[in-house]
């Protein structure tokens, strides 16, 4: 007969509804035969141990607690069982257990102590009662089920490492029972056993899972299913890494490593019987039986190379160092012999090839004793200066990456340490075995959660996953979001570039994604969103769940530009069409440039000058290849280009400005365009790119905004502007009569002389015949002295500006390794 072993944890049997669900789950399966191992109902074992302690110490109140626990089990039986005969028999067995238990506890109260034999007997009664309840439920629905008390089958003996099973004796006892009571479903108590001397005992904490695999081996099962309230083994602790992913297939050795380093769901020793008998183990969710969970077997699966990241906290790093240790045989043996004699477990060992020092990770509670023992063991060497010092560092966590596929896969360690470096985590010690199945690092506890998130992101997300925060979802910002959404899937499929919008912010509000998620809701922000907080926004965008963080500033705010240095310093890339940082305060500009050039984060600002045109990139290419810039001339305002391409004698200049505003070619306040300040800012940015440290005050700017209208509201300004048409009419008439055109031109030479003004240009000038909103830049250089290098194209409008910002984002991604 083909047996399938099922083990159900306490959360799966927490109450009558859960037990009813478990029985239905078992009956719905098509297993040929089932060996079902159960834990106690959730919380029962802890309560039994507490009551035992209270009784033995003479504390009042234990009888009442025992009565409450008894009533819980009796109520469960009543809720679970409708058949009066089955209910009466089950109640009778439960009441008998509690009657004997009450007498035993009263004896312990008289004795004033609780021998270990009594504690183990009492702590295992919860499993007996839950097995009785599940068996009765099976009988209630007409299904076959035979109750087995594992204390009558399982024979064990304690060893230094674990509780060992007497397989021969246990197998013979099980065979005898099956011969006397043949069945295709047995319900078995987990956790409990008998020692080889006949004394009732337990398998220790987490012993129920161990029972499950033990009986899996005893029944020679085809598979062992361990059911709990989680979906399976995850790639990391979901409480610390919300993006932890379900591992669908592991080898026994991978599971051993992860379980040892703190992975929940299964205890390391629980896998031993399955490994020895080569039985696959499935970790599954009782309440989601349709999910396959995690399979653990001898083969495992090579992908992904790193299966999971786990850790052990509350540790300390102890180091012994000294020149007298170099080349001296037996030093390590003396260290670990001293600790072995003191029964101190060493979690991790690291020693450099120089043999100058040995460091080891021990439980934090043992750090002081470890140092004292080593000082005693090396007292002579310390006295003679051969060992300089023995010291400990507290608050250490050991993190381990585990995976069979790491063996022979180049770059795994590189990815681990680059992930930690990006997160700013210092590694105290490193260890890796020759099998390459595990790489362990010791880090400070204060850095541990950040390190765990960074490592997980490094291995479980695309290396080119970018967490994006967008500030300023106006015309350009909204258009950028649309462009990102339109291309996200293609970029991921073609270049493994994973763009995730983590935050959107206005001047007042911000909207944050779920951890590691992507914001799909681009609706206008308002009272339903959080108030804007720059620090919280940056912390969310750069929370360590994703390998890289980018903040895109699509505002025209100087206050946002003030944040750039802070963001760059913490490793957040900054991309912007905002001209304030590049043209504003010179000291701030120097700080930003220095951080961008010396740190890991990039500052990209191509769209500040030519929207989508490669103006700054062209200038950088010229400078980086050794050319010398003699002068730069250009039309840098798409708004003003549109106006003067359209403006003809007889037209109202004020009406033309209103038309441009209605078409979205101007700023909300057209004075921002007409004043020339915007163009002057662009010229400052180019000058500083050339190495000229100038500011706005160094540029001669001709404003096209009448001074009398400077303080008016926008509506008042727009209404009054046509009254000043005569000033501009005279200039356009004069230029037209001479066969010339008016263009608003910015000029800069290599001496730093800079001007922005309305010029009358010949009809054959390169700037005379442009498309409506074109920007144009002419670079006169040593190489392009006689025939300047021209960059020309649309320089206004949300689509091209957003495209320029998007191009900068892709350049950052390419720098990070995206294959675009």
Token readout for 528 is 């339903």
Active-site position among 7, 307, 453, 682: 682
| Residue with token string 């025939």 | 787
- With the CA atoms of 468, 471, 472 and 478 taken in that order, what torsion angle do they form, in degrees rounded to the nearest 10? 10
93 upstream amide cis, omega within 30 of 0: no
Q: Are strands 33-38 and 294-297 parallel, antiparallel or unpaired?
A: unpaired
- CA–CA separation, 196 vs 214, rounded Å? 16
Give the Cα separation of 615 and 621 in Å (integer): 10
First-to-last alpha carbon distance for the chain, in angstroms, is 57
Closest Cα to residue 664, out of 797, 805, 480? Answer: 797
The continuous run of DSSP H or E covering 741 comes out as: strand 740-749
- The 3 state secondary structure assigned to 122-182 is HHCHHHHHHHHHHHHHHHHCCCCCEEECHHHCCEEEECCCCEEECHHHHHHHHHHHHHHCC
3-state secondary structure of 724: helix
Quote the CA–CA distance of 790 and 614 in Å, as a whole number.
Answer: 11
Residues in the chain: 820
Catalytic site residue 99? no
C-alpha angle 511/516/522, rounded to 5°? Answer: 35
Phi, psi of 107 (to 5 degrees): -65, -40
Strand order in the sheet with 155-158: 163-165, 155-158, 192-195, 200-202
| Alpha-carbon gap, residue 148 to 153, rounded angstroms | 8
Compute the C-alpha angle 327/332/336, nearest 5°: 170
Helix residue spans in 648-749 (DSSP H): 653-662, 671-674, 677-689, 714-720, 725-737
Contact 530, 509 (CB under 8 A): yes
Distance between CA atoms of 416 and 412, rounded to whole angstroms? 6
496: which residues sit within 8 A by CB, 6+ positions away? 462, 463, 464, 818, 819
692, 697, 701, 705 alpha-carbon torsion, rounded to 10° = 140
Greatest alpha-carbon span in the chain: 120
* Residue appearing with tokens 């063996």: 407
- The answer to whether 684 touches 699, Cβ cutoff 8 Å, is yes
How far apart, in whole angstroms, are the C-alpha atoms of residue 782 and residue 330? 71
CA distance 261 to 603: 40
CA distances 802 to 30, 635, 805, Å, are: 59, 20, 5
Q: What angle do CA 43, 46, 48 make, to 5 degrees?
A: 105
CA distances from 368 to 337, 362, 622, 674 (A): 17, 10, 63, 74
CA–CA dist 496, 510 (Å, integer): 28
Spatial contact of 190 and 151, defined as CB atoms under 8 Å apart: no
- Dist CA 127 CA 7 (whole Å): 12
3-state secondary structure (DSSP) of residue 291: coil
Which residues are marked as active site?
682
């Amino acid at each position: 007969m083909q047996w399938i072993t099922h083990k159900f944890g306490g959360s799966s049997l927490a109450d009558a509804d859960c037990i009813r669900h478990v029985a239905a789950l078992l009956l719905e399966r098509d297993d040929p035969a089932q060996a079902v191992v159960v834990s106690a109902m959730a919380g029962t074992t802890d309560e039994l141990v507490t009551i035992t302690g209270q009784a033995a110490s003479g504390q009042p109140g234990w009888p009442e607690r025992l009565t409450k626990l008894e009533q819980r089990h009796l109520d469960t039986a009543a809720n679970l069982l409708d058949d009066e005969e089955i209910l009466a028999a089950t109640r009778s067995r439960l009441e008998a257990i509690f009657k004997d238990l009450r007498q035993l506890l009263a004896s312990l109260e008289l004795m004033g102590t609780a021998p270990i034999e009594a504690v183990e007997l009492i702590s295992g009664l919860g499993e007996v009662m839950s097995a009785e309840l599940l068996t009765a439920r099976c009988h209630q629905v007409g299904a076959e089920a035979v109750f087995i008390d594992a204390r009558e089958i399982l024979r064990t003996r304690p060893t230094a490492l674990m509780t060992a099973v007497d397989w021969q004796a246990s197998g013979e006892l099980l065979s005898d029972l099956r011969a006397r009571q043949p069945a295709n479903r047995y319900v078995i108590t987990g956790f409990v056993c008998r020692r080889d001397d006949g004394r009732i005992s337990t398998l220790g904490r987490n012993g129920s899972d161990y029972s499950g695999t033990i009986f899996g081996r005893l029944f020679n099962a085809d598979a062992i299913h361990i059911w709990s309230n989680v979906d399976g083994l995850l790639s990391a602790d979901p409480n610390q890494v919300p993006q932890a992913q379900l591992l669908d297939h592991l080898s026994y050795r991978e599971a051993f490593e992860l379980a040892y380093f703190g992975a929940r769901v299964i205890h390391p020793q629980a896998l031993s019987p399955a490994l020895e008998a080569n039985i696959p183990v499935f970790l599954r969710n009782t309440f989601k039986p349709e999910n396959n969970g995690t399979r653990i077997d001898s083969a495992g699966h090579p992908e992904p190379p790193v299966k999971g990241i786990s850790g052990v906290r509350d540790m300390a790093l102890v180091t012994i160092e000294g020149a007298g240790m170099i080349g001296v045989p037996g030093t390590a043996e003396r260290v670990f012999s001293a600790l072995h004699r003191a029964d101190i477990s060493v979690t991790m060992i690291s020693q450099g090839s120089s043999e100058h020092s040995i460091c080891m990770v021990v439980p934090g509670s043992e750090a002081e004793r470890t140092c004292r023992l080593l000082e005693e063991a090396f007292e002579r060497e310390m006295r003679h200066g051969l060992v300089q010092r023995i010291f400990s560092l507290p608050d250490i966590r050991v993190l381990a990456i585990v995976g069979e596929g790491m063996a022979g896969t180049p770059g795994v360690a590189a990815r681990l340490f680059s992930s930690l470096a990006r997160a700013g985590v210092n590694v105290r010690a490193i260890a890796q075995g020759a099998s390459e199945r595990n790489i362990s690092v010791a880090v400070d506890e204060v850095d541990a959660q950040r390190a765990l998130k960074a490592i997980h992101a490094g291995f479980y997300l695309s290396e080119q996953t970018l967490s994006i925060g967008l500030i300023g979802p106006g015309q350009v910002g909204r258009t950028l979001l649309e462009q990102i959404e339109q291309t996200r899937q293609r970029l991921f499929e073609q270049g493994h570039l994973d763009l995730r919008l983590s935050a959107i912010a206005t001047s007042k509000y911000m909207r944050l994604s779920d951890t590691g998620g992507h914001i799909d809701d681009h609706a206008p922000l308002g009272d339903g969103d959080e108030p804007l907080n720059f620090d919280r926004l940056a912390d969310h965008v750069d929370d360590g769940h994703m390998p890289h963080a980018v903040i895109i500033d699509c505002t025209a705010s100087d206050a946002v530009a003030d944040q750039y240095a802070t963001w760059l310093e913490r490793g957040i890339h900054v991309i912007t069409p905002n001209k304030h940082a590049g043209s504003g305060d010179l000291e701030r500009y120097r700080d930003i440039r220095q951080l961008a050039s010396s740190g890991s984060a990039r500052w990209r600002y191509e769209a500040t000058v030519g929207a989508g045109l490669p103006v700054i990139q062209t200038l950088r290419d010229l400078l980086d290849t050794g050319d010398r810039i003699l002068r730069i001339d250009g039309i840098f305002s798409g708004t003003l280009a549109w106006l003067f391409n359209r403006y003809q004698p007889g037209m109202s200049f004020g009406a033309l400005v209103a038309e441009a505003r209605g078409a979205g070619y101007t700023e909300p306040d057209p004075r921002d365009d007409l004043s020339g300040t915007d163009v002057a800012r662009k010229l400052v940015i180019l000058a500083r790119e050339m190495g000229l440290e100038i500011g706005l005050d160094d540029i001669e700017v001709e404003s096209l905004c009448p001074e009398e209208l400077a303080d008016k509201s926008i509506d008042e300004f727009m209404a009054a502007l046509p009254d000043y048409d005569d000033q501009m009419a005279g200039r356009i008439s004069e230029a037209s009569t001479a066969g010339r055109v008016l263009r608003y031109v910015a000029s800069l030479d290599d001496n730093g002389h800079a001007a922005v003004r309305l010029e009358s240009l010949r009809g054959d000038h390169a700037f005379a015949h442009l498309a409506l909103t074109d920007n144009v830049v002419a670079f006169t250089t040593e190489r392009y002295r006689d025939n300047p290098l021209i960059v020309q194209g649309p320089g206004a409008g949300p689509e091209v500006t957003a495209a320029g910002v998007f191009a900068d984002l892709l350049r950052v991604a390419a720098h990070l390794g995206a294959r675009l």
